[in-house]
Amino acid sequence: GDSVTQMEGPVTLSEEAFLTINCTYTATGYPSLFWYVQYPGEGLQLLLKATKADDKGSNKGFEATYRKETTSFHLEKGSVQVSDSAVYFCALGGGSARQLTFGSGTQLTVLP
Amino acid sequence: KAGVTQTPRYLIKTRGQQVTLSCSPISGHRSVSWYQQTPGQGLQFLFEYFSETQRNKGNFPGRFSGRQFSNSRSEMNVSTLELGDSALYLCASSLFRDNEQFFGPGTRLTVL
């Protein structure tokens, strides 16, 4: 079945540091890939998405490129801020099943 | 446009009771999915409804059920509550049966 493997957390960075959160997937067919963010006490917010190979999703300074050859969708940001502190989830949809399949989440803490 | 709303936001029940959670999707969205989020199991898909019909179901016991009304609003019901049902229950809506899902803030269920 479909699965998502996500970089274990927690990750602690200083403000303005470079962020990478690794995500790899296993799926049949041609899934769409997503990054969701969850702030404390809230639901999930869609951060960015990519629907086909080599697509780059971007939003709020975050980027991720759909790499079919390495089955990866790593999240990057050049300069993190304290307000980026949250839990980040990688997800795939539209593989062998309709629903979203999530990774385990990565807790990011950014210190001033 | 208003987002996905879920009621109630917090709920405390005791073992053996039953509970009903409600979800109102974004206006115009016709598909509603439910997910359970726990620290141990992460985010797990419960079921998906589209046009008042359950289209997909995750690996949960029959105590978990749901329905969708003609206005696309959805409810999920859990009968004979167990301690392990304590979780954040997230509802997500999408325009049709596509993969870009928008999440509500969740209902935090505590079973004592």
B→A interface, C-beta within 8 Å: 4, 6, 33, 35, 42-43, 45, 48, 55-56, 58, 90, 92, 97, 99-106
Tell whether A42 is within 8 A of chain B (Cβ): yes
Tokens 């639901």 belong to which residue? A43
d(CA A29, CA A10): 32
pLDDT digits (tens, 9 = 90+) for A53-80: 999 999 999 999 999 999 999 999 999 9
Q: Are B92 and A46 in contact (CB under 8 A)?
A: no
In A1-112, DSSP assigns E strands to: 3-6, 11-14, 19-21, 23-26, 32-38, 44-50, 56-59, 62-65, 75-77, 86-93, 101-102, 106-111
- Are A43 and B48 an interchain contact pair (Cβ–Cβ within 8 Å)? no
In DSSP terms, A72 is beta-bridged to: A24, A67
Q: Which band of pLDDT confidence, cut at 50, 70 and 90, is reported for residue B96?
A: confident
Tokens 């995500």 belong to which residue? A23
Measured between beta carbons, which residues in chain A are less than 8 angstroms from residue B45?
99-101
Burial label for B62, CB within 10 Å (0-12, 13-18, 19+), is: exposed
d(CA A16, CA A105): 22
Q: How far is CA B55 from CA A37, B67, B68, in A?
A: 26, 11, 11
Q: Which band of pLDDT confidence, cut at 50, 70 and 90, is reported for residue A97?
A: low
| CA nearest to B6, candidates B70, B55, B66, B73 | B73
Give me the amino acid identity at A97.
A
- Are B48 and A105 an interchain contact pair (Cβ–Cβ within 8 Å)? no
Looking at residues B64-69, what average pLDDT do you find?
97
d(CA A103, CA A6): 5
Burial label for B61, CB within 10 Å (0-12, 13-18, 19+), is: exposed
pLDDT digits (tens, 9 = 90+) for A42-59: 889 999 999 999 999 999
**Per-residue pLDDT, A109:** 97
Q: How far is A31 from chain B (nearest CA, A)?
A: 9
**Per-residue pLDDT, A42:** 86
Give the percent of chain B with pLDDT over 90.
86
d(CA B100, CA A46): 8
Q: Are A33 and A89 in contact (CB under 8 A)?
A: no
What element of type H or E holds A57?
strand A56-59
**Per-residue pLDDT, A99:** 83
CB atoms within 10 A of CB B85: 21
- Tokens representing B5 are 């709303």
Average pLDDT, rounded, for chain B: 94
